[in-house]
Amino acid sequence: MDDQELARIANALYALPLDGFIAARTAAAKEAAGAGEGLPAAVRALPKPSVAAWAVNMLAAHQPGVLEQLNELGGRMRAAQSSLDAAGMRDLGRERRTLLASAVDAACSVAEQHGRRISGAVATAVEETLRAATADEGAAAAVKSGRLLQVLSADGVDTVDLDGAVAVPGAVAAPRTAAPAPAAEPDKATTATPAPARGPAKPRLQAVRQEPRPASPSALEKAQAAERAASEAADEAARQAQERLDDLTAAESGFARLAQEARELRATLKSTEEQLERTRKLKETAAAEAKQAARAADKAQRSAMLASERVLRLGNTRS
């Protein structure tokens, strides 16, 4: 059976919406019935990825440029770690945090476009997987393959465990490195590439290096460099946390001041409304009394007129 043909089929399956994976795998196995011995069974055996792994596969299939940026950053971080450049690791760590946040947002967006909303827990797993890809070349190749089955994790010292992490691992392309230096006539006994092992054992993904690398620092030196970078990152995080705490204190103070002003304004408003109500009642009373007084004045005026008329009549009668 040709691993490359199986990988071609897997590439198409792992770029599909997650909910349709099983049905698409069954259909692909039927189509592969005449393509080669063992291929249909191998297609049926392709595992369904976890939600987080699928989201990373969506990123590899639909926004590979995001992974290229992370891969390039990972190369610079590994170089800084090899040279024990703590300051460089600190700066690159900040850059990685920014890129990871952007990459996780992109993965969530692509996943939602293909039918699955990503929860906070899954987004955290996606971030951890992409972080592992910046720390380990093999993990970067696994992520770039688009056939990831499970999340990856890296501690910054040991290599990432890739056993069972990728479908069709033998067909994963190795990441590109610098061009190899000229070498003497190769010894066929040492350059012959063994055929991929057949059997139940799953081959481990390895990043292929095309030129010799200088001796790497010991695990202790790497751990010490990582510790220094982590300590500086912790100091930076503590500084930022203190700044946010200061901002919170200022905000709380401003809130308390405005709340007191609001209480005072509400009290003033209440007093004004009470005065307004009293004045309204006085106005209504004055209006009623004015109306009553006007009626009384009109009645008195009529009485005065009647009295005048009577006096005139009596005077005319005597004369």
Please enumerate in sequence order all residues whose Cβ is within 8 A of that of 32, keeping only pairs 6 or more positions apart, or say none.
9, 39, 40, 43
Distance separating alpha carbons of residues 231 and 228, to the nearest angstrom: 5
* Among candidate residues 13, 141, 121, the one with its CA nearest the CA of residue 74: 141
pTM > 0.85: yes or no: no
Predicted confidence (pLDDT) per residue in 250-309, tens digit: 787 678 778 888 888 988 898 899 999 999 999 999 999 999 999 999 899 999 999 888
pLDDT of residue 314: 85
Residue 201: its pLDDT value, please? 41
Low-confidence ranges of the chain (pLDDT < 50): 173-214
User: Which whole-number Å values give the CA distances from 209 to 59, 138, 233, in the listed order?
Assistant: 25, 11, 31
Q: What is the per-residue pLDDT for 142?
A: 93
User: What is residue 240's predicted lDDT score, i.e. its pLDDT?
Assistant: 66
Q: In the prediction, which pLDDT does 183 show?
A: 38
